[in-house]
Structure 1
Amino acid sequence: MVNRQIKEKIIRLSGELTALRRKFHSEPELSWEEFKTTAFVCQYLDELGISYKKTEPTGVIAEIKGGKPGKTVALRGDMDALSVEELNKDLPYASKEEGKMHACGHDAHTAMLLIAAKALNDIKGDLPGNVRLIFQPAEEVGRGAKAMVEQGAMTGVDNVFGIHIWSQMPTDKVACTPGPQFASADIFNIHFKGQGGHGAMPQDCIDAAVIASSFVMNVQSIVSRTIDPQACAVVTVGRMDVGTRFNIIAENAKIEGTVRCFDPAVQDHVETQISHYAKQVAATYGGTAEVEYIRGTQAVINGEFSAKLVQQVAVESFGEEVLYDEKPTMGGEDFSFFLDEAPGSFALVGSGNPEKNTEWAHHHGKFNIDEAALVTGAELYAQYAWAYLHEEN
């Protein structure tokens, strides 16, 4: 199932792999601004002789054409960083950009996919099919994958595979089980409107602060009292903007939040309930509510065949002990847009190591990875592509 040449090649390239990751880490670029990263990926592919096309405004779609006819498997790696200040100032490869940081591991994903491409390109004559390489921008805003699909990333693809470095798992462990992996991630914005006035004369006013507070304090009943307890959902209000001055009763209150779940029916239900609840709460106090509900990414649901193939490849590559039972996360991932186009799966590769201080949460200013996990990720990318093409032909 696994290819010995791939394993040996990636081990030999481990130093280059680490150097690539550190380069990307020190030069972070935000969503839709990955111009230097895109240019570097193109240059690297040019040196390998791998054909590609740039996508707009950033991103790269490349393809390794096998020496034999067959299907096409896609490998995806995202490239964008976050608006987070790096707190690991002592690292020799710390971010050079103030207020920008690879705080989620996308630097590792890009580096791993490049090295996987290099290993696969060496044996392309033995590939019964093609390997599509998707270097994706703007995952952090949940829009990059959809844009890549619209620009042809999944045209002709039979199966798609992605990886995320995961600091909550021990280094080198691999998790990929059939079923839900990441939740859908929606956004809601609500504008409550009352009637402002003097803080000393509440009888003449409709207090938007009270309306908004009532909504926030009681909105969890949507989850606790209207959803099957065996299902799951998260409703979080993350921001409130209320009033203008200490002695003025607020006329306007704005809140922003997110909804996470795995079941599309639950997603539809929560959207309906939030709108209904906001308007009813506002009406109770004599105010009004305008609700904007924005569908973000859908849930990432691993296909059974693909997830089990990942497990098989991981065991054959790294041993039975590599498999890890990681529970589904309510975090969001726009890899779901690729799964709308073809079956596939999304794996987690552990990088948490207390001895190296790499157990910080994703999106934290001290986030870092145990670079020993890079070889695992790069090989998993390449071995999965090899295994899928040979499994299907």
Structure 2
Amino acid sequence: MGEPVDGLHGADDELEAKLIAIRRQLHRYPELANEEYATTEAIREWLRNVDIRLLDLPLATGVVAEIGRQEPGPVVALRADIDALPIQEATGLSYASSVAGKMHACGHDFHTASLLGAATLLKRKEKELRGCVRLLFQPAEEKGIGAQQIIKCGALDGVQLIFGMHNKPDLPVGTIGIRPGSLMSSVNGLRIEIKGVSTHAAIPHAGVDPILVSAHLIIALQTVVSRNVSAVDSAVISITQIHAGNTWNVIPELAVLEGTVRTLQPDSRIFIRQRIEEIAKGIAATFGAEIKLRWTDGPPAVHNNKLAADIAGLAAQQAGLHVILPEPSTASEDFAYYQQHVAGAFVFMGTSGNHEWHHPAFTVNERAIWKSARYFEALAELALLKLTIPEAEEIKHT
């Protein structure tokens, strides 16, 4: 799937081959969130080599660059993420990760190579652009904090539309998923500490068993979605860690549960948090335990502006891609933070993958790199065009 590609296609075989080589270099040398120093310098060098101007912004990692005229005219942003995951690679590829315990298991190397390709193509026609294309090579998506770093440094200033994409292993190369409205879930981290009273395992009545409380709580939490959330809405509650006790004959004092809550609807996000707190406190009181809940707020839901999604769909048709309406995903993406400031759309690019995201054998079909690069070239041009005609006025204020 990720080995040499035969029969390079498209109008620029040399550029396609270069993009594949770039993707493989990134894949071989992955860096985790906010550690992408070598990746950042490599991206800077690739952009300098094609004379794309870099913006001097206060970012430790990540790159922001521009193509086209800055004044007058609209500004459209294209975003790719650049960080890897703490996963030991098991692909067997000739260019597999050379760094133990780190891997591009989510395809951010593919995203980066694709945006570099689009940047090169747009640079060739820079004088024809009807405005400015801002390129965001974002760090730390896997921690859900990189988009906020980009926003904080001022990289969205003046931007009227923003677009991004994620590879989609279950879609074939040449297919793109575009959906107005909610596409990916919000996410919250959840930690529940249950404090009981330790006692000998032979005399449980002398204590308060936090493990028993945990068992009741885990079962009860599964009813929140099935009995409190509408069947036409989407929500997921998963308890992913349980920690309690350190020997076989002692009921411990403390049990700790950790998990995640994901929703597509903002109202459900608020309601589920409230319901979990009510259930947890009620069960703890029933058994005489003490309970402490800690929430970690992650990105909100990715919600695509309709007009931006329409532009994304038209560009896909122009690029010769097969457009489908994808099912919403309960995975999260910090691209959603951009959409709180700027109208935009996030799309799924088909990559004919062999495994889902975050699998140690995950890879992409590299034929998708060129298609993705050409798509974002067409998308940026079309978005700038739409922003210069009256019909696009609504986008600026949505």
What's 2:379 paired with?
A: 384
CA distance in 2, matches of 1:9, 1:336: 34
For the 8 Å contact 1:67–1:126, the answer to whether it is kept is no
The structure that is strand-richer by fraction is 1
Correspondence list, 1:13-92, <5 A: 13-52=15-54, 53=56, 55-66=58-69, 69-89=72-92, 91-92=93-94
Query: Deviation of residue 12 (structure 1)?
Result: 4.5
What's 1:374 paired with?
A: 369
Say yes or no: does 1:268 pair with 2:263. Answer: no
Query: Deviation of residue 359 (structure 1)?
Result: 2.1
Deviations 1:128-180 (A, max 9, x none): 11001000000011010011101112111000000111101112210111111
User: Which one of 214, 219, 243 corresponds to residue 212 of structure 1?
Assistant: 214
Correspondence list, 1:1-393, <5 A: 12-52=14-54, 53=56, 55-66=58-69, 69-89=72-92, 91-318=93-320, 322-352=322-352, 358-393=353-388
Secondary structure of 1:240's aligned partner: strand
For the 8 Å contact 2:220–2:279, the answer to whether it is kept is no
For the 8 Å contact 2:117–2:370, the answer to whether it is kept is no
Instruction: Specify the code of the residue in structure 2 equivalent to 1:368.
Output: T
* RMSD (Å), alpha carbons: 1.5
CA distance in 1, matches of 2:317, 2:345: 16
Query: Deviation of residue 10 (structure 1)?
Result: 5.3
Q: Which runs of 5+ in 2 are unaligned?
A: 1-8, 389-398
Query: Deviation of residue 228 (structure 1)?
Result: 2.3
Greater displacement, 190-199 / 226-235: 226-235
Query: Deviation of residue 69 (structure 1)?
Result: 2.9
Corresponding residue pairs, total: 379
For the 8 Å contact 1:9–1:119, the answer to whether it is kept is no
CA gap of 1:324–1:10, structure 2 versus 1, over 3 A, is: farther
What's 1:355 paired with?
A: none
What's 1:3 paired with?
A: none
For the 8 Å contact 2:308–2:343, the answer to whether it is kept is yes
Greater displacement, 221-230 / 377-386: 221-230
Secondary structure of 1:191's aligned partner: strand
Deviations 1:54-91 (A, max 9, x none): 543211111113387310000000000001111012x1
Instruction: Specify the code of the residue in structure 2 equivalent to 1:198.
Output: H
Greater displacement, 67-76 / 305-314: 67-76
Query: Deviation of residue 210 (structure 1)?
Result: 0.4
Secondary structure of 2:233's aligned partner: coil
Instruction: Specify the code of the residue in structure 1 equivalent to 2:82.
Output: M
Identity over aligned residues, as a percent? 34
Query: Deviation of residue 242 (structure 1)?
Result: 1.2
CA distance in 2, matches of 1:271, 1:67: 44
Secondary structure of 2:170's aligned partner: strand
CA distance in 1, matches of 2:216, 2:12: 57
Q: Which runs of 5+ in 1 are unaligned?
A: 1-6, 353-357
Secondary structure of 2:85's aligned partner: coil
CA distance in 2, matches of 1:9, 1:71: 28
